[in-house]
Structure 1
Amino acid sequence: MIEKIDLSQVLNIAIEAGKEIIDVYNTEFEIEQKADESPLTIADRKSHQVIESQLYKQFPKIPVLSEEGKHQSYAKRQDWTYAWVVDPLDGTKEFIKRNGEFTVNIALIENGIPVLGVIYAPVLDIAYIAKKGVGSYKLDNVSDRTFSTEEEIIQGLKLPVSEKRDYISVVASRSHLSKETEEYVDRLREKYGEVDMTSAGSSLKLCLVAEGKADVYPRFAPTMEWDTAAGQAIVEQSGGTVVKVDNSEPLSYNKEDLLNPWFIVQHRKL
């Protein structure tokens, strides 16, 4: 199945969704509250509509599990071999703050494992793309382009990019920094000395590790499957890992409970 999916198809969908988000971003939009008290805007909905309709149009046999969509029961989902796991607007809080650090996340899951991922940051106009057997890539200035083939994507920057540094670079959540994360960083300081800590929003944190700009992203706070699926594909295809804190096994997807356990993203064991 994955061999039949060209990365350019998915990237074009993410870019189209990003344009819908930007149209709202440049207006005085209203903010709603979901049942879990997380914020929701019309940009979330517009992006979802574009992604879901285009995925079903181009890949009608693959179900879509989107944060803003209707979720089927696990009794039905457990039989899925493949599924799209989508966050139409990851980092709604960053969107509301207008700091540009929000993304469109689209991942393809095969038997619970992310095998393809596209993350697009509309304001930054940067895309991170990965596919099993192809690798991970970063592309700049994509909003004015329509991609026709996967070959165009692999002309981009191949990840990771080697960066020499004599300190540990940690990236952490801008909006969800927990006490446990701070304690983890303190332990790194005790073991390695200098630790540089950077804050970032949305799935860009996983992308920074995949790119090589950060060594580790510890997440000791709640996330959902659609927050991490695309980023995990990008990290893993760049040679990194996204593993659970309690047993060091990779995060898995399309579980009965769509809440992720705590996890650590890294390129080298710390």
Structure 2
Amino acid sequence: MLNQINIMDILRVAVEAGNEILSVYHSDDFQVEHKEDSSPLTLADKKSHNTIIRGLAALDVDIPVLSEEGKSISYDERKGWEYLWVVDPLDGTKEFIKRNGEFTVNIALVHMGRPVLGVIYAPVLDVLYYAKADVGSFKLENAKEAITDATVLDKKSVKLPYKRQDGKMNVVASRSHMSPETEEYVAKVREKYGDVEMDSAGSSLKLCLVAEGQAEVYPRFAPTMEWDTCAGHAIVEQSGGTVRHPESNETLRYNKSDLLNPWFIAKQKGFEV
């Protein structure tokens, strides 16, 4: 099934969804509602979601979709899915409302609980991160222009991770969800490595920074849902890193009965505390 999917098609769907988000972002009509958990839901979420659903439905593969907007699908129905798309049409809604640009479109393909393809698009930055199992992870800047031609895509995509030249140790953490457990973990990193810089970022961009090599580790000791992490997990893993539970050391799994993720640590290959 994975070999039947052209990554270019998914990149285009993500960019189209990002364009729908930007049509709201650059207007004064946010239409902020509130979900049951009191987090904001915007017109941009809905427009992006509809674009992604249409785009995935147009592919030559018939794969069900699990998204934040469709989380009511019962596990009795989902548990028989060998493959599924896991989608967050607008990850970082709070960042969107703040208009700081740190929000993304997340699209991932899961096979038997494992993310095997991931695409993350940051519309304001016009940057794509993408990965496919056994192919690797890549970063693409000026994405709208590059995805018009496969030759341009191959030429301009940069394989991840980068090799850091500055010798610095960076930890990336959530801008909105810092916790005492995260602070304790960062203290342990500093105890082992000495001078450590702290970076903050919104949405799945934190996972992208690990995959990219701009941060060695991203400890997440706060709630996330499967659609928040699935695409980024694929990108980290295909860059050589891991996304694992801090105590069991088990890799995060997807399409679980409970769609809430456990705590996790995303890190580059070779990083240990």
Q: Same fold (TM over 0.5)?
A: yes
Whether 2:18 is the aligned partner of 1:26: answer no
1:152 is displaced (CA, Å) by: 4.7
Distance 1:40 1:71 in 2: 16
What whole-Å deviation, never above 9, does each CA across 1:198-230 have from its counterpart, x for those lacking one? Answer: 000000000001000000000000000000000
Partner of 1:250: 251
1:113 is displaced (CA, Å) by: 0.3
Distance 1:241 1:152 in 2: 30
What whole-Å deviation, never above 9, does each CA across 1:66-111 have from its counterpart, x for those lacking one? Answer: 1112532111101100000000000000000000000000000000
Q: Secondary structure at the match of 1:58?
A: coil
Partner of 1:172: 173
**How large is the Cα RMSD of the aligned pairs?**
1.3
1:166 is displaced (CA, Å) by: 3.9
Partner of 1:12: 12
Residues 79-228 of structure 1: matches in 2 within 5 Å? 79-147=80-148, 149=150, 152-155=152-155, 156-228=157-229
On the 8 A contact 1:217/1:266 being kept in 2, the answer is yes
Distance 1:201 1:178 in 2: 15
Distance 1:14 1:69 in 2: 18
Distance 1:70 1:255 in 2: 12
One-letter amino acid of the structure 1 residue matched with residue 194 of structure 2 = G
Partner of 2:51: 50
One-letter amino acid of the structure 2 residue matched with residue 26 of structure 1 = H
On the 8 A contact 1:9/1:147 being kept in 2, the answer is no
Pair 53,70 (structure 1): closer, same or farther in 2 beyond 3 Å? farther
Partner of 1:269: 271
Using the size of structure 1 for normalisation, the TM-score is 0.96
Using the size of structure 2 for normalisation, the TM-score is 0.95
Query: What is the count of residue pairs matched by the alignment?
Result: 269
1:165 is displaced (CA, Å) by: 4.2
On the 8 A contact 1:8/1:148 being kept in 2, the answer is no
Q: Which segment is superposed worse, 80-89 or 178-187?
A: 178-187
Distance 2:61 2:199 in 1: 40
Distance 1:98 1:40 in 2: 15
1:245 is displaced (CA, Å) by: 1.4
What whole-Å deviation, never above 9, does each CA across 1:104-148 have from its counterpart, x for those lacking one? Answer: 000000000000000000000000010011111100111245445
What whole-Å deviation, never above 9, does each CA across 1:172-216 have from its counterpart, x for those lacking one? Answer: 001111111111111111221111000000000000010000000
